[in-house]
Structure 1
């Protein structure tokens, strides 16, 4: 029994010795490691500092909505989100087991941005190449703690791109931190600014002018700028005042009415071509509208300026004065001025030599009278042309209507016809005398027989 107890005691002593030996070995190893690699040990014990945090805090896309084939820009706001200073805790453990803790304030690390690139959608939204094959911004540089920078990326939308919303990604390669991938919304819409007729008559008079109107409608969900409207006649048989109008900016789905004055040059059916020019951001676009009008003789139309003959004698005796009356009607929708009627017959005395009416408002009716003096005219029919002249009050363009011809017959006066009747009267009196003599002679012959 005593031997057994002595054996167990020896075992406990050996176990304790082995444990002490293990502890000493570990302490010796730690001391050796600390002595050989003090910097590594301190770094391992210290709190690990993280890299700089870069974020895209905002972006804009111009134009707001692309049209197929457009180019534009994506402008990014990139910020280093690290604060200005950072407090770190350092723990150092000595071989003897002593732990020492210190606080140290250090500056944050600047973000070293290597590249910014667009991970586009092939065939839809891609980087815009302008004489270079680069598809990224390189060597952007360092971005300090809390600092931000704006960077613009040129992009293009394919001409065959379908309408819709796309999300190309912006990739920022940070040399000393975590890379950034950020989706950007790009909208594509093919709707256009269009033209349609507001007031274009089927017929217009040959003489005078007429106002026409068209509507410019922005059917897009974003505004457009630099809007200009042009009008022309391919054949040159119509003139316009003005030939172009500037509208400027059209808001989304806004429309405006634009007026032009058309001035016919000749009769017939003539084509009118309208063109609207506008910009979606810096991208120039066009739309067209083709219409036509029929130009007819102005004197046959109530929507023109007309010279109307009111009264003129069918004939007048030579030496008398004939009165000729006219009405002038302004059937246009605009004022006219310097309205004048001029007789065009040379060698004939007509007073006044011209009749000046002056200004006429739209819808006005004025009268004018002329006196035809016939004492120097030969017997027979005479044709007298009267011409109406006026100016458009807005364009100052001068118009002359075709001559209005008035026919008057000049006859001999009644007293000049008496010498022609004298022989007839003498003959008639002679015949009456013969008849009366015959009757009287017959009566005288019957008396003796009684």
Structure 2
């Protein structure tokens, strides 16, 4: 009898222990996101299904949004008291927005959006998304938020050392994004006193992480000044700016066409003169509509008052021939006009000595002039040069050489021996 009572006590003790374990398991489940309704009709399971940060990486002082989605995957509704974000490092701008949430039905979703503001310290912080259930329990989820002050990089990769007033030059910029998240609405605006740009602004758009783009501006300065390129962009909804300054100073340089002349010759042609030579483009850009003529006191005349060369590329040259009259002039101004890529006209003047003129019918320097009717042959006679070493009789020497070669060939072929044998017989 005593043994039977002890057996019943053991069974009762085992049942109580099992019930306690079940209650403990239910309590643990509630702490992890489950809530048991007061009626006991079912279990409501609330889970986080999505977390989004915009921007993905904050800069110091940036504002952005944290969006959290939750879902009730249970079979009954669950009552939510409030939702909040808790952090000592990241400020929540709309911290009272979700003080009263309400009921989330079975199978339904709910989205919470919080406005966060980064502080002045770089690093990665973990604000906690906190969900407080009405009946019992709560949910906590840490969200990593990274703050990085790195901005986009703007550099000048092509720019002249000095500028010329009123002349157009090109400046090329490189804009790159060294951040780990994209930046948007990248825009470049050039500013400077007395400086005219080909574009008042240039829109690049989105720069992905580690992406680089190059842009070129045409710049025409009217005075020395600082040319500032203001680069604005957005990290999420936040506007940021970077800038690069290019000092515009004037100086002597030749980046355009630079025309030079050489091989100039002046010859008399009847009552006028003919000037010939070569014009070369020693500059760095094309010279267009190149024309050559003469200036006062000389006057252009037919048949070539103006010689049209056309376009001369860098390091290219062309010959010219200009006709003119210049009675009593000691020098002749040779004028070369051309246009640049913008259509501006340039003129360069070169002085040519008129005293070096020679007649086309006159003998050139080094020849002899003799009266008409005289024998113009040299003293060497026919087939001889005029004088000095030129008096050697060329034709007889050639005949002797040919005869010697023929004799050597005949001797080697045996013809000479045969002839001797015939004479002996």
* 2:293–2:322 CA contact under 8 A, matched in 1: no
Corresponding position of 2:79 = 112
Q: Does 1:145 align with 2:106?
A: yes
Corresponding position of 1:215 = 174
CA distance in 2, matches of 1:316, 1:162: 87
CA distance in 2, matches of 1:414, 1:74: 93
Q: Does 1:59 align with 2:9?
A: no
* 1:317–1:413 CA contact under 8 A, matched in 2: no
CA distance in 1, matches of 2:190, 2:96: 43
Corresponding position of 1:198 = 157
CA-based RMSD of the aligned residues comes to 3.8
- 3-state SS in 2 of match to 1:136: coil
CA distance in 2, matches of 1:270, 1:249: 31
Q: Does 1:280 align with 2:266?
A: no
Q: Kindly tell me: are residues 112 and 228 of structure 1, through their superposed partners in 2, closer, same or farther at Cα, counting changes over 3 Å? A: same
CA distance in 1, matches of 2:202, 2:165: 25
CA distance in 1, matches of 2:132, 2:214: 52
Corresponding position of 2:206 = 249
Q: CA deviation at 1:64?
A: 0.7
Corresponding position of 2:350 = 406
Q: CA deviation at 1:67?
A: 0.4
* 2:259–2:283 CA contact under 8 A, matched in 1: no
Corresponding position of 1:173 = 132
CA distance in 2, matches of 1:279, 1:167: 24
Q: CA deviation at 1:74?
A: 0.4
Greater percentage in strand = 1
Corresponding position of 1:308 = 260
Q: CA deviation at 1:119?
A: 2.3
Q: Name stretches of at least 5 consecutive residues in structure 2 with no aligned partner.
A: 1-37, 360-425
Q: CA deviation at 1:348?
A: 2.9
* 1:116–1:172 CA contact under 8 A, matched in 2: yes
Q: CA deviation at 1:319?
A: 3.5
TM-score computed with the length of structure 1 as normaliser: 0.60
- 3-state SS in 2 of match to 1:213: strand
CA distance in 1, matches of 2:320, 2:252: 25
Q: Kindly tell me: are residues 282 and 330 of structure 1, through their superposed partners in 2, closer, same or farther at Cα, counting changes over 3 Å? A: farther
Corresponding position of 1:125 = 90
Q: Kindly tell me: are residues 177 and 342 of structure 1, through their superposed partners in 2, closer, same or farther at Cα, counting changes over 3 Å? A: farther
Q: CA deviation at 1:77?
A: 0.8
CA distance in 1, matches of 2:270, 2:329: 7
Q: Does 1:386 align with 2:336?
A: yes
CA distance in 2, matches of 1:59, 1:407: 82
Q: Kindly tell me: are residues 79 and 219 of structure 1, through their superposed partners in 2, closer, same or farther at Cα, counting changes over 3 Å? A: same
Matched length: 319
TM-score computed with the length of structure 2 as normaliser: 0.63
Q: CA deviation at 1:189?
A: 0.3
* 2:288–2:340 CA contact under 8 A, matched in 1: yes
* 1:224–1:281 CA contact under 8 A, matched in 2: yes
Q: Name stretches of at least 5 consecutive residues in structure 1 with no aligned partner.
A: 1-45, 85-107, 392-396, 416-450
After superposition, residues 331-350 of structure 1 pair within 5 angstroms as: 331-332=283-284, 336=286, 338-341=288-291, 343=293, 345=295, 348-349=299-300
After superposition, residues 64-79 of structure 1 pair within 5 angstroms as: 64-79=56-71
